[in-house]
Structure 1
Amino acid sequence: MALPLAISFFTFQQIAYLVDSYKEKTKEYDFLTYVLFVTFFPQLIAGPIVHHKQMLPQFNEKNRFFNNKNFSLGLFVFSIGLFKKVVIADKLAVPATYGFDVAESLDLVNAWFTSLSYTFQLYFDFSGYTDMAIGIALLFNIKLPVNFNSPYKALTIQDFWRRWHITLSTFLRDYIYIPFGGSRKSNFNTYRNLMITFILGGLWHGAGWNFILWGGLHGFALVIHRAWQLHSNIKLNKWLAWFITFNFINITWVFFRAKDWDSARKVLQGMFDFTNFSVTEKYQWLADFLSAYDIVINRVNEYIIVEVESNVAVYILLSFILVLLFRNTSERIENFSFSWQTSVYSALCFSVALLFINKNSEFLYFNF
C-alpha cells in the first residue's frame, strides 16, 4: 500500500499538537505559522520529530534576519552530517546489503560483518541526516532538537533509549507511556506499559512482524532492566555492561533490517555457529593458526563479504573508534567557535564527502 513520504514523522507532530490543544497547553497561532511548522523542509522527510513548543516560538521577526554565527554553525554541522552519510554509511551499506539480501548463507565472520555493518550504517545514516537537517535549519536561524547523543556508548538499554532517536523516545514517553499510567502504579502495570509502548514503537517503523518483534524485544529488555534495578544490588562492571548492551542492540537490529524471517535466521544462525568458518586463500594463515587449537576452518574461494568490500573490517573498526572515542555532534555544537580550524574541518568533511558521492542513495529512515 503506497503511503505519503514520511507520513509517520509529520503525523506524530500533529498528534502532539492536537493532544496538547485538547489539554489547553497550546497557544493561538495563525494558520500559516502552523503550516510552516508542519512542513518545515529540513526535518520533514526523516525527522527529528519536532514538538510545537520547540518550533513555533522560533518563527518570529527576530529570526528573519541573517545571523553569521548560526550560518557558520549550520555549515559546520551540515558538513559533518554529509560526511557521516556519504563516506561512512554508504560504504557500510555494501556488506550489509550483500549479507542480508544476496548471500545464501553466512559463516561466523561474515555474519558478524553483516550485522555490525548494518548497526553502524543505520547510526551514521540516520544521525548524518539529522545533522544535515539541524545544519540547514540553522541557516534559517531555527534550532532543531538534538536527536542523538552517542547511543552506542550506552551502558544500559534505558540509557540507549535516552540517547537514540531522542525525539521519538520523548514522544513515546509523553503520549503513550505516561497516558497509560507510566510507572505510577504497580510494577506489573509499569512492565505492561513498557511493553505496549515499545511494541507500538516497533509498529511505528513498519507494519511487519519483524518490527513488532524488534519493539517487543526492546520492551522486554527494559522490563528486565527495571526489575534488575528494583530487586538486585549487583552493579555490573562498566565494560561488561557496555558489552551486553551493545550486543543486544546489534543482535536486535538484525530483525529491524531483515526483509523476512529467513533472512533474519540466516544472519543470526551464522553469528552463533562457532563451527562454521570460511576464508579465502589470502586468509589461509588464520586457518592454519586456529587449527592448532582444534578449530577447523573451511577454506573456500567463493565470493564472500570479506571480498565484497575488502576494507569492511577497517570501516567497522573506525566506526567503533568514532562512536566510542570522539565527541558527538551535539558536543561539537556546544563548544563551537568560528575559527580557521573549524573552517578547515568543515571544508575537509564537505570536500571528502563530495568526492565519495558517486551514486544515488536514499536515507534509511525515508522508509518510515
Structure 2
Amino acid sequence: MLFNSYIFIFAFLPLTFFVYFFLNKKRMTELAKAFLVFASLFFYSWWNVLYLPLILSSMLINFALGKQLSTKAAKLQGSRKAVLIFGIIFNVALLGYFKYTDFFLENFNFVFGTQIELLKLALPLAISFFTFQQIAYLVDSYRRETKEYDFLTYALFVSFFPQLIAGPIVHHAEMMPQFARLKNRLINYANILMGLFIFSIGLFKKVVIADTFAIWVKHGFDNMPSLELITGWTTSLAYTFQLYFDFSGYCDMAIGAALLFNIKLPINFNSPYKSLDIQDFWRRWHITLGRFLRDYVYIPLGGSRAGNSRFSNLFFTCSNLFITFLIGGIWHGAGWTFVIWGALHGIALVIHRLWQSVGLKLPKILAWFITFNFVNFAWVFFRANSVDDALKVIKGMLGLNGINYEQYKFLRSAFRAEALHDGIHIFLYFLAASFIITLAGKTSSQIVKNKENIYYTIAFCVLFILGVFFMSVSKYSEFIYFNF
C-alpha cells in the first residue's frame, strides 16, 4: 500500500484516523493503541504477509533486550554490555542475512571460482530502517536514557505506519512520550490542517515532479546503451532531482500523516541542495540517518578526539569519517555501486576536514557549485544497476561519446509532445523549476510556520487536486527508498 495510492488516501488513512480517535473518545486508550498497532502491521503486511513474523519477532526480542538493559536490577556492567553486544549482533545479523548474503556469495564465487548457489532472498520491506531504529533503542537503554514502557507502546514506536517503511529513523524519546500525552488522544484540527497540507506537498513532489523525472532517468540509465555529453548530464541531473523529490516527498507525506494523529516526526530534509560543503549537505540530507551514523557509529569509533596530538586527532577523525560513510553506503544496498557511493562521500568529507584544518575558504558560489556537482556525480553510482552502468553515464558526462541529438527522440512520446523540441522544452522546464524550488523555495515545515490557515486550505486543495490528477493518468510507482 503506497502513500500515493487511492486505497491509502481514501480508505486506509481516513478509516484508521476515525477508528483511533473514536476509541480514544470512548476512553478505550489501550484498545485505541492496539488498533493503531494492528493497522500499522496491516499496512506493513499489505506488500507481503510473510514479512509480518519477521518484524514481530524482531520487536519482541529487542523489547526484551531493551527491558533488560534499562532495568535497575541489571547492575553488573559486564552483563549489561554483553546483552547490548548480543542485541547489536542479532540486529546486524538479521539485516545482513536478508540483505547481504547473496552479495557475499557472488563475490566469494568470483574470487575463489566456486559455484555456490545464491539464496535469492527477498529483501523484507523496511528492514534497514526498523533495524537501525531498534539498535538505537538498545544503545539508549544501555545508557539508561529510556523509560519503562509496555510492549504495546514499544510496538507502536517501531511499527507506526507513517514512518515504518522508509523513516525518518526516530528515537524512543521523540515518539513514546507523544503517545502518552492526554491531549494527543483528542482530535486537533490545527494539526489536521497542517498535516493534510504537508501530505499534499509530498504527494505533489512525488507524483508530479519525481515521477516525471523518472521517465528520463529510466531511459538514460536502463534503456540507452551509451550516452553523449548532454544526455549524460541531463540523465544525472534528472536522477538528482528525482531522488530529492521522491524521498523528501515521502518524508513530507509521513510527517503529514503522523500529524493527523498528533504525532510530530523529526524533519528529515532542510534544503540540502543549498549546501556550501559536503558536511553541510549531510546536516541537511536524510537528517535522521546522518544523526544515527554520527551518534552510533562515528562517535563510538572515537569521533574527532581519538588521538593525543593534533596530527593524530586529524588522522583518526578522517579515518572515522571514512569508515562511517562507507558503512552508510553499505547500509543503503548490497552492491559495489553503494560501496563506491559511500566511499566517495567518505573521501569528500575527509578532504573537507583537511581543507578546514588549514583554514581555507572558497567563495560561496564556487563552494556551492563544487558541492552540488560532487553530489550529482556521486548519485550516478547510487542509481546505477552496476558499476558498468555508472561508468556509461559518467563517460557521457565527460563527453567521451560526443554529442548526438538522435538520443532525444524518445522525449516526444514520453511527454506526449507534438514535436521533438516540445518534448525537450517540457523536460528543461521541469529541470529549471526544480533548481528554483530546491535553491530558492522553502521547506514544508518553513511554509506552515509563516502562513495563515486559509492559505494552507487553498494550497492543500490545489496541490491535492493536481496530485490526484497526475495519479489518475499514470501508474503508481514505489518510492525509491523502499528498495533499501
Q: Given the two structures, how large is their TM-score scaled by the length of structure 1?
A: 0.91
Match of 2:147 in 1: 27
Match of 2:257 in 1: 136
The one-letter amino acid of 1:241's match is A
The one-letter amino acid of 2:427's match is V
Assess, with a 3 A threshold, how the Cα gap between structure 1 residues 136 and 170 changes in structure 2: closer, same or farther.
Answer: same
Select the residue among 173, 176, 192 that pairs with 1:53: 173
> Any idea what the Cα deviations from partners look like across 1:3-61, whole Å, max 9, x if unmatched?
21010111111100111111211111111100000000011011111111110110122
Match of 2:379 in 1: 253
Instruction: Work out the CA distance in 1 between the residues paired with 2:126 and 2:408.
Output: 40
Larger Rg: 2
Match of 1:293 in 2: none
Select the residue among 268, 284, 288 that pairs with 2:394: 268
1:18 counterpart = 2:138: yes
Instruction: Work out the CA distance in 2 between the residues paired with 1:209 and 1:330.
Output: 36
Residue correspondence of structure 1 range 79-158 to structure 2 within 5 A: 79-158=200-279
Match of 1:161 in 2: 282
- Tell me if structure 2 keeps the 8 A contact 1:67–1:141: yes
- Unpaired runs of at least 5, structure 1: 280-299
Instruction: Work out the CA distance in 1 between the residues paired with 2:230 and 2:270.
Output: 29
- Tell me if structure 1 keeps the 8 A contact 2:274–2:439: yes
Instruction: Work out the CA distance in 2 between the residues paired with 1:179 and 1:351.
Output: 48
The one-letter amino acid of 1:117's match is A
1:212 counterpart = 2:339: yes
Instruction: Work out the CA distance in 2 between the residues paired with 1:178 and 1:305.
Output: 48
Assess, with a 3 A threshold, how the Cα gap between structure 1 residues 71 and 262 changes in structure 2: closer, same or farther.
Answer: same
Match of 1:318 in 2: 433
SS in 1 for 2:453: coil
> Any idea what the Cα deviations from partners look like across 1:299-331, whole Å, max 9, x if unmatched?
x48745577442221111110011011111121
Instruction: Work out the CA distance in 2 between the residues paired with 1:85 and 1:260.
Output: 25
1:72 counterpart = 2:193: yes
Match of 1:288 in 2: none
Structure 1 stretch displaced more, 147-156 or 266-275:
266-275
- Offset of 1:234 from its aligned partner? 3.0
- Tell me if structure 2 keeps the 8 A contact 1:99–1:305: no
- Offset of 1:262 from its aligned partner? 1.5
Assess, with a 3 A threshold, how the Cα gap between structure 1 residues 306 and 312 changes in structure 2: closer, same or farther.
Answer: farther
- Offset of 1:2 from its aligned partner? 1.2
The structure that is helix-richer by fraction is 2
Structure 1 stretch displaced more, 12-21 or 308-317:
308-317
The one-letter amino acid of 2:149's match is Y
- The number of aligned residues is 346
- Tell me if structure 1 keeps the 8 A contact 2:227–2:401: no
Instruction: Work out the CA distance in 2 between the residues paired with 1:147 and 1:306.
Output: 36
- Tell me if structure 2 keeps the 8 A contact 1:108–1:277: yes
- Unpaired runs of at least 5, structure 2: 1-120, 307-312, 416-422
The one-letter amino acid of 2:468's match is L
Match of 2:349 in 1: 222
- Tell me if structure 2 keeps the 8 A contact 1:98–1:305: no
Assess, with a 3 A threshold, how the Cα gap between structure 1 residues 34 and 250 changes in structure 2: closer, same or farther.
Answer: same
- Tell me if structure 1 keeps the 8 A contact 2:395–2:401: no
- Offset of 1:68 from its aligned partner? 1.0
Instruction: Work out the CA distance in 2 between the residues paired with 1:334 and 1:31.
Output: 35
TM-align CA RMSD: 1.4
Match of 1:346 in 2: 460
Structure 1 stretch displaced more, 125-134 or 267-276:
267-276
Structure 1 stretch displaced more, 58-67 or 219-228:
58-67
Match of 2:477 in 1: 361
Higher relative contact order (CA 8 A, sep 6+): 1
- Offset of 1:278 from its aligned partner? 1.5
Instruction: Work out the CA distance in 1 between the residues paired with 2:372 and 2:186.
Output: 44
SS in 2 for 1:141: coil
The one-letter amino acid of 1:77's match is I
Assess, with a 3 A threshold, how the Cα gap between structure 1 residues 213 and 355 changes in structure 2: closer, same or farther.
Answer: same
- Offset of 1:274 from its aligned partner? 6.2
